[in-house]
Amino acid sequence: MVVLVTGASGGLGSVLGRTLVERGMTVYGTMRQPAGTEQDPPFPMLAMDVTDAGSVTRCVDQLLQRERRIDVVVNCVNRMFIGSVEEESVEEVRSLYETNVFGVLRVCKAVLPGMREQGRGTIVNMSSLGGLLAVPYMSAYTSAKFALEAMSEALYHEMKPHGIDVVIMQPVAMAMDRPATGAHLDVVAGAGPGSFSHKMVERMARDTAASKLTPEQVAEKIHDVITREKKPLRVPMDRARALGLVKRLAPQPVIDRLMKGLLR
C-alpha cells in the first residue's frame, strides 16, 4: 500500500508516517523544503507547498513516476490562529483557507485521476472539533473546518461509484511535545494587548497540554480505518463523539450555555 502524508515534517503527520512504515506500508511525506529536515524520518520526503497548485501537481507526478500508484492520501497540513471576527484581517483568513481548505482541495484534485484509473483509493482529511462547533474567537479556523467537512462529504458521495473512499477524521487537540504556542497556535495581528483572544490562546494551550489524546493514538486509528474493507465517512474521537451528538440534538440555549462556559 502506497501512502502519501502531507505535512509530515512534524506533529501528527510525522507520527503517522512512522506508524505506517512500522506496519509495512510504503510511505512518502511532504513538506515545503525537504532539504531542511533536521531529523531524517524513516520515509522519503517530497517537496510540496499546498498553496501552490504547480507544486502539488509536481509532487504527485513525482510519486506516481516512482510507485505507479497512490493508494491512500492523508491530508495533515493545517494552520490555526485565534482572533475575533473584528480583529482578524481578510488577508489572514484567506491565508488560512489557502492551506486548510484550498490546499486540501488541490491535493484531492491531483490524486483523484490516478485513483479513478486504478479503481480504488482512500482520501483521509483531518478535521477536528472545529468542524463540529463554531467556537468564538476561532471563526477563521472553525469555518475552514466546516468547509472542509462539507467538501469532503460531497466528495465522498461523488467517489463512491468509483471505488474511492473519503474519510473525515475528527480528533480533539492532541498532546504533543512542542512549545505551548507558536506557528501552530498564535493570535491574529489585530488583537490588542487587552484582547480576550490572548486568553483564548492560553486556554487552548492548557487544553492541548492536558489532552489525553496523543498523535500516536490518532495514527493508530487512521491505520485501522485505512485498512478496513468498509470505511466510515466520519471518525469522531474522544470528546468529538459527545459534542457531535450535542450539536445535532441540543437546542440553541444549551449550545449558548456551553459557549458561555468556554468564554468564562
Catalytic choice (9, 14, 143, 152): 9
Contact 72, 1 (CB under 8 A): yes
Select which of 141, 152, 156, 197 is catalytic: 141
Choosing from 28, 84, 97, 127, the catalytic residue is 127
The answer to whether residue 141 is catalytic is yes
3-class secondary-structure state, position 102: helix
137 is catalytic: no
9 annotated active-site? yes
SS (H, E, C) 4-61: EEECCCCHHHHHHHHHHHHCCCEEEEEECCHHHCCCCCCCCEEECCCCCHHHHHHHHH
The whole-angstrom separation of Cα 5 and Cα 29 is 5
Q: Select from 209, 176, 171, 186 the least CA-distant residue to 138.
A: 186
Strands 164-170 and 234-236: parallel
Active-site entry in 145, 152, 156, 197: 145
Question: 127 catalytic, yes or no?
Answer: yes
Chain centroid, CA 147 distance in Å: 12
Q: Which residue has the cell 505551548?
A: 180
The residues that are catalytic are: 9, 127, 141, 145
